[in-house]
Amino acid sequence: MSAQLDQYDAILCDIDGCLLAGETVLAGARELVARFGARLVAVSNNSTDTPHTLGARLARLGLPIPADRIVLAGVTAVDRIAASSPGARLALCGTGHLAAYARTQGLRLVERDADIVLLTRDVDFTYGRLERVVGLLRSGSRLVVANIDATHPAADGGLVPETGALLGAITTCLPGLTYEVIGKPEAPLFDIALGKARVRPDRAILIGDNPATDGAGAHRIGMAFAAIGRGGARDIAELLGTAPTEDPPMAFGLSASGP
């Protein structure tokens, strides 16, 4: 299975559930980063960090991936809003890291009369915030959603509620609401990552643990997909062929024809 990865000019890899579970480095993650080096681009629906804050955390955990090879849904959402609506009044449901980044991009953070509401994984989301967001959207603010993941894996085997769970609360209040999604399975993160790697989709492979976002997104753009966790290898170590196991190897799934 590891020989399959060697055929590609770029390796795109999800983070949560692939390289990390919380602060726990998953089996094979360090080997993957060391082996593929500059050919590896991390592509994540993470919407709490910036590439610099996440890159620093990864480095502390022995996963040295430079910020310029980390593509994140939250920051990408901010960038797209700043490019399409310079100086927009933005109601952000998100972390201080993302708020600080939005200000550097010229966006004005507001609580009322917002042009756009940006929904990310907001760990301080409350009933009061839900009420304010619903009011803004009813008044005509446009909704941009960093990602639609309902959860991601926790270190103890549990689940961390994600942006999609918050979106569910909003759409329950406002059935039929239209919104723009930035993260996987939509194309923007993949387009940026492929641009950084300077390769076509058919010369890259995505490693991911979520068929609904990673797998579906790769399939849409004609990129190969290596599934781990659900429906594929148990972890990166098994994908690389470095994990001792008495069980038969699990399937190496490709969503598009390899080279």
pLDDT interval class at 13 (50, 70, 90): very high
Domain ranges of the chain: 2-45+184-240, 85-181
pLDDT at 156: 76
Distances (CA, A) of 235 to 15, 132, 137, 161, 242: 12, 41, 41, 22, 10
Give yes or no for residue 105 having a pLDDT over 50: yes
pLDDT at 146: 97
Q: Are 53 and 70 in contact (CB under 8 A)?
A: no
* Model pLDDT for residues 210-242, shown as the tens digit of each residue: 998 999 999 999 999 999 986 688 889 999 987
pLDDT over 70, % of the chain = 92
CATH topology of domain 2-45+184-240: Rossmann fold (3.40.50)
pLDDT at 2: 58
In degrees, rounded to 5, the angle at the alpha carbon of residue 218 between the alpha carbons of residues 248 and 27 is: 40
* Model pLDDT for residues 187-209, shown as the tens digit of each residue: 999 999 999 999 999 999 999 99
Give yes or no for residue 166 having a pLDDT over 90: yes
pLDDT at 155: 76
Mean pLDDT of 164-193: 97
CATH topology of domain 85-181: Rossmann fold (3.40.50)
pLDDT at 234: 87
Q: Are 204 and 8 in contact (CB under 8 A)?
A: yes
